[in-house]
Structure 1
Amino acid sequence: FQRELMKRSELNQKLALEQYKYERENELNQDKFRFFTNLSHELRTPLTLILGPLDRMIRNTELNNKMRQNLLLIQKQASRLQKLTNQLMDFRKYEIHNLKLKAGEENVVDFIQEIGVAFKHHARMKQISFELVFEENELKLYYDRDKLEIILVNLLSNAFKFTSSKDSVKLKIRRNSVEKASKLMISGNSPNFSHFGEFSAFTKKVLEIEVSDTGVGIHQNQLKHVFDRYFQASNIETISVGGSGIGLEITKNYVELHHGCIMVKSEVGVGTTFYVWLPMGKAHLSENEMGSDFKSNGEKVPKQVEKQSQKKYAQLLEVFEQVQPKPDLSTILVIDDNPEILYFLQESFEKNFNLLTAQNGKIGLEKAFKHIPDIIISDIMMPEVDGLELCHQLKSDVRTSHIPIILLTAKVSNVFQAEGLETGADDYITKPFDEKILSIRVKNLIESRKKLRQRYSKEFNMLPSDIAVTQPDEEFLNKVIKIIEDNISDTNLKVDRIAKEIGMSHSVLYKKLMALTDLTVVEFIRTIRLKQAAVLLNKNYGSITQVSHEVGFTDPKYFSKCFQRFYGVIPSAYKKEITLK
């Protein structure tokens, strides 16, 4: 009996010790989290003050290409830091029950597809195969955009983080029954399985989101801790990736805010699969969890055409494009697979622009290369070629790299803005969009490029790097300048010869050079000749006649006239000023 009492006492002591350890660990975790959230709160103000001026600097027309690229890199990293601090603050609100769901109804397939599109660029960079699988093109769901975005971004980011090149990641979306989803949950590790039963009485269908990878995997004995705060699997310590250890806990909590469930299955060396189930319908939502329904576009279609069929819209748009372009107006290309949005934007811009439209990315690319428009507005989610890929191709091609591109998207996160900017997008506008704001953005982009062109045509010492917006633009200008300088004394240097050496048609070369410098090809050749003449005069090369012949002018009097128009003084006076200095 005494031995039994000793065993019981010993067991009680162990239980008390374990309870003490648990409480102390919990207190320590809470202290850590309070520290991080307090730090996040303090970081929000300086980050705002960093990002605000950064945005203004990036839009500054006087920036050269290299400086703009460096600022974009700083902006991307600061935006990621801001995103993390905002998540920590939201997570703290969740813990004290202040974070609410604001669910609206929308076709969730479009929303998730767009998130997938943003990761395609990332997959290409890491040489990882990325597949999106949708069993249906339309699945209506009540959800909170911001929170579902965070759920998907965290799961996909994790999948890519722990997957090496040549491996694969898959995002699969489908409708499933509560019964089948329950069986799948029983077979795996679902930390909130009991929560699943709460909404099974309200609906028979769930949205099933599956994110799988063929990465390093997680040990079976650690799976139950995957959603714990600060947890990181022991077998991934050798991988050179960092993390806060709270991403999956945030994901789990946001899934639960949707009254849903999450589960993970994994095998070391094989890969990991996360399942998320969200209830369909709205019977599970309380009144204060309901927000306004999302609109697929920013504005209502004009009343006179709002009842027209898709075919009718397409016919109307064809009529609009048959209007003869006005030479004094800029040309805008609008690319969207929704003809209603195309029609709406046509109404918005037809008075001030020559308008071109395309109903998918493939046609958009063809029209961009054919017409070389002054600005492009493109949706991200489109058939054939998506908006990010379209932007990447246009900005990589020397014929179109100078064209400002505005991307339209349902996403609001800085993550997606960063992805868009990485592909070369000049601006990023979320749906629903305001017509006036879009018009102002278009006007500002065109005006900023115009000012840059005017500066180049008027200032004497500007270099290609000072006006080029993209690397292909800078390379193009340097190549044209080199051709002219290598043939500077050749009085027969013609536009056709330059076009042939550059590998462009005469018309594309003309449009490209005008877009970058506000000069025709002939005017640009003359400008390079005059700048070279100034260099020779600075070096006291010889007489004015000798200098004029050296830079390709056959008539010294015409040379003097052109020089005076450009520099404000005749060559002899310019040479005298240099000598006196």
Structure 2
Amino acid sequence: FIPVAEKYNQLFIREIPEDIASFIDKDKYEKILFNLLSNALKYTAAEETILFKVEFNKEANTLKTIVANSGTKLNETELADLFTEFHVGEDNQFEKFSTGIGLAFTKELINILDGDIQVYLKDGWIYFDFILQLNTVNDGKEDEVITSTPSYLFESILKPYQNNEAETIEEGNKNTLIEDLQDKFEHSILIVEDDVALRFLLKNILKDQYNVYEADNGKTALSFLMHNKPDIIISDVMMPDMDGLVFCKHVKSAPATSNIPFILLTARGSNEQKTEGYELGADAYIPKPFHITYLKVRIRKLLEYRKRMENLIKDGNINNHFVNVDMEQGDKEFLNALVNAVEQNLSETDLDASKLEGALHVSKMQLYRKLKTLAGMTPSEFIKRIRLK
């Protein structure tokens, strides 16, 4: 977090006593710290201060952790709702939680560790503090505490900042392109997220299975897509310059990218937003907080489904009207209706997409987007394929 604070001109004070030796649930404690510090850095303005302080009570064997920041705009009435999932403050200061985990989940983790988190305001600062009872160090186990291997989360946080030099998006994408050209992995992913910490975390979680590219908002992502075509896109919704919904509309409206599976991530999972996302062509809508395993499964299933659809078309299933093929019922009905509409008008030499739009009662863009996603073809190419069959 030090490079992030330096980048945004924030003063990051750390007060950590030396020689603390005890046992703690490392994975849960790191997730708690990662979440609290990510939110503190994200919602603290330039020239303000962030405090991370640890107090160890040797006699009671307790650890008190404090994460605070100056310049808060929240008021006392809003504090009670901060641990409610996706609460939005009046000034939208907590509109989106940066880690995808959320303060509600942080409170649950602390409760599991038999702790209790407190939040309060003082002199323009907001403080989060909690006390955990530590386990007693057993004889001969001191070295185990010191040499214990860092958790995967901790390593993921540190990787972008090794040698105190954060890799830029451009540098990272150049390295990924080299790996992509060398066929390091079969599929590539574009992550579009303005939160540096979450973007790095997602990349490090997924880069062991995919070639991962990055962009910090929809506008830079569109520039990237002008020269590259990933196999799937994962995008946040709330971003500066161009948000995820507008970006999704651009992707699904462009002939070259409309068939790329698109996953939207958001801390605001209302039915209205989901409907808007799906109307724009999103293939999946995952609300925060989300489980990493679930995200991985959705990615894998979307890629498998697209591959299966491509193979179905290549295998000549157009002739058998997709009766016994393995695909979602809605997609099967759409393709069967499309094939019927084409076959019933094969005698017309001027058969084109406009006549199919009328037969299926869909707009030009809906027909193009759906067919491109399912079959990887334009309406004209689909008509030609059936004529050849």
TM-score (norm 2): 0.47
Specify which structure has the higher proportion of helix: 1
Please tell me whether Structure 1 or Structure 2 has the larger radius of gyration of its CA atoms: 1
TM-score (norm 1): 0.34
